[in-house]
Amino acid sequence: MTNSSVASSICSIVPPYLLARLAAAEDPAKATAAKSARRALTGIDGVESARSAPHSAPSRGSGTAFTPSLRRTISDALGLEELPGTVVRSEGQPDTGDPAVDETYAGLGATYRLFSDAYGRSSLDGAGRALEATVHYGRAYDNAFWDGSRMVLGDGDGEVFERFSKSLTVIGHELTHGIIQYTAQLDYRDQAGALNESIADVFGVLVEQKLLGQTADQASWLVGEGLFTDLVQGQALRSLKAPGTAYDDDVLGKDPQPGSMADFVKTAADNGGVHINSGIPNRAFYLVAEALGGYAWERAGQVWYDTITERNFPADATFAVFAAATLTAAEKRYGAGTEESTAVQAAWKEVNVLV
């Protein structure tokens, strides 16, 4: 995959292996969910034809030229699988009373403020790019995704999934795919794709932690918490703290994410396991944040941000390449042998990426 293809990748929050389990469900109580999952599985390819206007691959940038500008536009797909939909709320306008619209509007703002306040970055491109999102995509649509130009949120089926705007980590995750698009431009397959997913998870949870003012030890470290209905045995889609423990359900199965290279999953599915193996770098970030304590978006998050904004970062980076780059970033900012660089090195060793 070339860098130019990153911009056209559809990066979804619900992994295909989970949708496949749900699609095969025979439980009458989850019949609507099974139908919705089947549609979500087959519909992601069709998103390309329903996308917003074509756009070229963005140039890389660190976002150091700070231009404060928060501009949000929320559109309503009105239950159709067509984009962008009808504009229903723009920057500065009051709440609409539609939870999906207003939650998404607030989530875009929270994500913008994390990158602005913590890293001096103005929006996705570092130059005030407008943040666009579409809600009410499809009927009972079981996913949310970044399509290369906007974030798109389904309403869920009501049996397994709630509306996707309920989770701030989902919004932060999908918008971070946009940040990656303008920075590291990581290929969306194999280990580079798992890093792409992991980085989106990392900053997705940091958006929530910063909004709530949580320290590393206070945070849940869950991605998609609150998405499951009461019919599901699970807390969230993924756990950075303990990959493989987010859910264990009769229909959905057990969370298959590994937390160490010792359990790395070799598969051709899901673009080479981008949603499964992302648990390994996710766990590494959590270990860094845990070791450093305090607010994770500060030192741990800064190292990860410095890494993805390094110019000429290889788009096909492996876990080992990324791990080495985070160590270099920690040493560059904080110094060799410091608490920060030591924590980074120890974390990658614990997940068996560095020896």
Instruction: Identify whether the C-beta of residue 294 lies closer than 8 Å to the C-beta of residue 316.
Output: no
Active site residue 174: yes
Gap between the Cα atoms of 4 and 98, Å rounded: 36
Residues 6+ apart with CB under 8 A from 38: 23
Q: Which of 132, 159, 162, 174 is catalytic?
A: 174
Cα(168)–Cα(93) distance, integer angstroms: 20
Query: Which residues neighbour 36 within 8 Å (Cβ) at sequence distance 6 or greater?
Result: 139, 140, 141, 142, 156, 157, 161
Give the separation between CA 325 and CA 331, rounded to whole angstroms.
Answer: 10
Catalytic one among 136, 173, 177, 275?
Answer: 275
Name the residue type at position 291.
Answer: A
Q: Give me the residue label for tokens 């496949």.
A: 20
Query: Per-residue b/e over 26-47, b at no fewer than 16 CB within 10 Å?
Result: eeeebeebbbbbbbbbebbeeb
Q: Are 111 and 290 in contact (CB under 8 A)?
A: no
Contacts of 56 (CB under 8 A, 6+ apart): 4, 7
Q: Is 91 annotated as catalytic?
A: no
The token pair that represents 29 in the structure block:
């109580």
Q: Which residue has the tokens 């998050």?
A: 301
Among candidate residues 206, 220, 354, 192, the one with its CA nearest the CA of residue 277 = 192
Positions marked active-site: 174, 275
